[in-house]
Amino acid sequence: MLIDVHAHFLHDRTPRADWRERNASRLRAGERVGITIHVASILGSWGGTSPTYFPSLPDLRYANDWLLALQRQHPDRVRGYVAVNPNYTAEALAEIARCLDAGMIGVKLAASRRANDPLLDPICRLAAERGVPILHHIWQHRRRDWPGQEASDARELGELATRHPRVPFLLAHIGGGGDWLHSLHDLRALPNVYVDLSGSGVDGGMLEACLDAVGVARLVWGCDLTIETGWAKLRYLEHLLSAPDLERVRWRNAAAIFPPGAFPSD
Amino acid sequence: MRTDVNAFVGSYPFRRVPGTSPDAVLAAMDRVGLDEAWVTHLPGVFWRDPTEGNAWLLHLAREHRRFRPVPAVHPGLADWRDALRAAGDAGAPAVRADPTFYGIDPAGPAMRALAAACGEAGVALSLAVRFEDGRQRHPNDHAPELPAAAVRALIRSDDRVRLLVTHADRPFVEEVHFGSTPAEAARIWWDICWIWGPPEDHLQTLLATVGVSRFVLGTGQPLRLPENAAAKLDLLDLSPGDRAAIESSNARALAGGRTL
């Protein structure tokens, strides 16, 4: 069993004309790597009719519906995070309830609002009530604001996680850009924050540093935009970890933080 | 036979990297099934005189036949031709220059002179676009990335020079390849370490558009996990011939038959 906790799909209203090919490529590569379940999100229209990190309500609803359809089409391979924009609080809460009721298994927060903003609290309370994790987009050690997103870093996510200790948070793509070592220092004392190993970065020493900072119990495997880097990290972990510990990273840790029954052999 | 054309030995100044000793790099090569590696003395890249690491590197390659040395040449130093000559005499498959780290114009007269001398000597010139993702570099690590325009300028500056460009991504490769004549593009080899696989499929696209003959296996180890390059190839549906070309025979063509 292998669970990719950080996947994405595209749809027909994104700017990408090759959206079918990219989706098919993800599933095909997943078969080769041995990915059992892709836990995915779609960030609105990916910039088509609203910005990727500031998606409009219609774009979010369309994307979430599309992902629900994909989950129904591939019940053995795809699960969904409901993506919301916390600036529309009431609508975000209603969308989360709607999509969880329809079978999604987590919440995706990207970069529409800083992670430590009180506006995220109602969403976290609902996540706690429903027993689902939150995957939060992170810029590792954000030193300034970047155009196109109100990105958060590990310290800001840590403030949110401290306010909501019952919610498991996945710190997105430790290899996805920025100073991952800085993030790891912030995570040591945050027991409800898990490190998502995805991202295009495959730095030597990064996995050892992750293990040192949070231990094997708080590592979850994923790919994000580059499946080969996920596979490379998995191959290297085979040399770093015992077989039982490798199983934890491959899927057992994920199975423990998503709702019971979210995965086939869970 | 699998050849890694992009490997390093020695410590990195901007963060702790495990596995930088020669023995550790050899162990990593065993782990991923690499037979030989073209290696750079990593600390030297950041020295005022990067050639001060060359003697150690050449000695290392004599001790460990699976290493092939890629000595540094700094064309801004008065005696740079001696360093190039020594590399050629030692059978190095390539020399390297990191002009932005040396603080010289990457397409300026010194680099053009080096390109011409490499062309005349029949030694390939290796250039790295970057060492780390720009978003994570140390606050004091300010050297600019190698611009694509510099690669275009250097390949045009001498019609014999062969270039190995490492750590380039798809837009960089396309900009240089399609911004060069076919004859120029045929003298540039690209390592695959920074090119994305699925689902974006950048490498698959480039193999179709630029051609298999232009790509070589490079890992960037130990700064990067060498497993990445192998995983990338394992995700492609390559014929045995194409895979062998990327893993070894293209590197032999790049080296121009130079052996230790």
CATH (domain of A46):
3.20.20.140
> Which among A32, A141, A239 is the nearest to B235, CB-wise?
A32
Domain range for A111: 3-257
Tell me how close the Cα of B233 comes to any Cα of chain A, in angstroms.
9
pLDDT(B259) > 60 = no
Contact: B221, A231; criterion CB under 8 Å: no
- Helices A121-130 and A89-101 pack at an angle, to 10 degrees, of 20
> Which among A25, A179, A235 is the nearest to B198, CB-wise?
A25
Chain A residues whose CB is inside 8 A of the B223 CB are 203-204
Q: Is B81 helix (H, G, I), strand (E, B) or coil?
A: helix
Q: What is the pLDDT of residues B142-152, one digit of tens each?
A: 999 999 999 99
- Would A263 be classed as within a structural domain? no
pLDDT tier for residue A55 given thresholds of 50, 70 and 90: very high
Give residue A264's pLDDT. 86
Domain segments of chain B as ranges: 3-255
Residue A74 to residue A79: CA distance in whole angstroms: 9
pLDDT(B62) > 80 = yes
Residue B253 to residue B191: CA distance in whole angstroms: 14
To test the contact with chain A by mutation, choose from B235, B236, B237, B238 the residue with the greatest count of A C-beta atoms within 10 A, namely B235
pLDDT tier for residue A263 given thresholds of 50, 70 and 90: very high
- Enumerate residues 6+ apart whose C-beta is below 8 A from B124: B93, B94, B95, B118, B162, B163, B164, B189, B254, B255, B256
Contact: B223, A203; criterion CB under 8 Å: yes
Contact: A29, B199; criterion CB under 8 Å: yes
Q: What is the pLDDT of residues B246-257, one digit of tens each?
A: 999 999 999 997
Cβ atoms within 10 A of the Cβ of B126, count?
28
Residue A27 to residue A265: CA distance in whole angstroms: 20
> Which among A32, A178, A204 is the nearest to B19, CB-wise?
A204
Q: Is A189 helix (H, G, I), strand (E, B) or coil?
A: coil
Contact: A22, B234; criterion CB under 8 Å: no
pLDDT(B260) > 50 = no
Q: How far is CA B136 from CA A180, A226, B105, B113, B130, in A?
A: 8, 18, 24, 33, 12
Residue A234 to residue A221: CA distance in whole angstroms: 8
Q: What is the pLDDT of residues A8-28, one digit of tens each?
A: 999 999 999 999 999 999 999
- Enumerate residues 6+ apart whose C-beta is below 8 A from A176: A138, A140, A198, A199, A200, A201, A224
- Would A205 be classed as within a structural domain? yes
Contact: A33, B225; criterion CB under 8 Å: no
> Which among A22, A227, A235 is the nearest to B197, CB-wise?
A227
pTM (global) more than 0.90: yes
**What are the phi and psi torsion angles at B227 (to 5°)?**
-60, -25
Contact: A205, B17; criterion CB under 8 Å: yes
Question: Among all residues of chain B, which has the CA nearest to that of A16?
Answer: B200
Q: What is the pLDDT of residues B94-126, one digit of tens each?
A: 999 999 999 999 999 999 999 999 999 999 999
How much is the mean pLDDT over chain A?
97
Q: Number of CB pairs < 8 Å for A and B? A: 98
Q: How far is CA B251 from CA B2, B5, B248, B255, in A?
A: 10, 7, 5, 6
Q: Is B96 helix (H, G, I), strand (E, B) or coil?
A: strand
Amino acid at A40: A
Give residue A160's pLDDT. 98
Candidate CATH numbers 3.40.50.300, 3.20.20.140, 1.20.1250.20, 2.40.170.20; the one for domain B3-255? 3.20.20.140
How much is the mean pLDDT over chain B?
97
